Amino acid sequence: SRVLLLVVLAVQSFVFTELASVSKTGSDVKETDRDDYKNMTSTGLTTVFTELRSSETELDQAMNECNETFRVEMSYLESLNESGSFPDETDRTPKCYVRCVLEKTGVASEDGNYDPARTAVIFAGKRAGRPMNDIEEIATGCANRKESCKCERAYQYIKCMMETEIRKYE
């Protein structure tokens, strides 16, 4: 549940960053365009909130479902979030948990191909207080996997992304 909390906090931080950006932009709008801007902002924010809420709910649901089949200790997920890797990289269960989550969220296909655009939607957020605006680019660099085991391939994909995020944002 802590990882879930971290994911929720990351999504909320992203939303607040987007709101601040929209608010700042709104102060620069001419009075004659104010009504159009308000309508556009309201619609835009509704879309952002809906997409984020949907992605957050989808990720939460996938994590819960996958944890029923592939039990993972919280310390493993915390380690992945903090260091980019699991404490015991010989344990196959947490790697299969990652594969399950990626498949259920549509980040990975059943044949083990990764969708960087979908990755950016599901894993949007902040690291060390900085918005990560290039998740799709990072995911693209990590997507071409050669591992034959789907669980190992999924883990190496997430590990590549996490290590890149940590190097870049912390």
The pLDDT tens digits of the residues spanning 43-61 come to 443 433 344 456 678 888 9
CATH of the domain at 66: 1.10.238.20
Is 33 inside any structural domain?
Answer: no
Q: Which structural domain range is residue 53 located in?
A: 44-169
Residue 21 lies in a domain: no
Nearest to 107 by CA among 163, 45, 150: 150
Residue 157 resides in a domain: yes
pLDDT higher than 80, residue 2? no
Q: What is the pLDDT of residue 53?
A: 52
On whether residue 129 sits in a domain, the answer given is yes
Q: How many distinct structural domains can be found in the chain? A: 1
Q: Is 80 part of a structural domain of the chain?
A: yes
Query: In the prediction, which pLDDT does 125 show?
Result: 83
Evaluate whether residue 11 is within a structural domain. Answer: no
Task: Read off the pLDDT of residues 27-43 as tens digits, 9 standing for 90 and up.
Answer: 444 444 444 434 444 44
Q: Does some domain include residue 49?
A: yes
- Taking each helix axis from N to C terminus, what angle separates 92-104 and 34-69, rounded to the nearest 10 degrees? 140
Amino acid letter at 101? Answer: V
32 inside domain: no
Structure-model confidence comparison of residues 37 and 121, the more confident one: 121
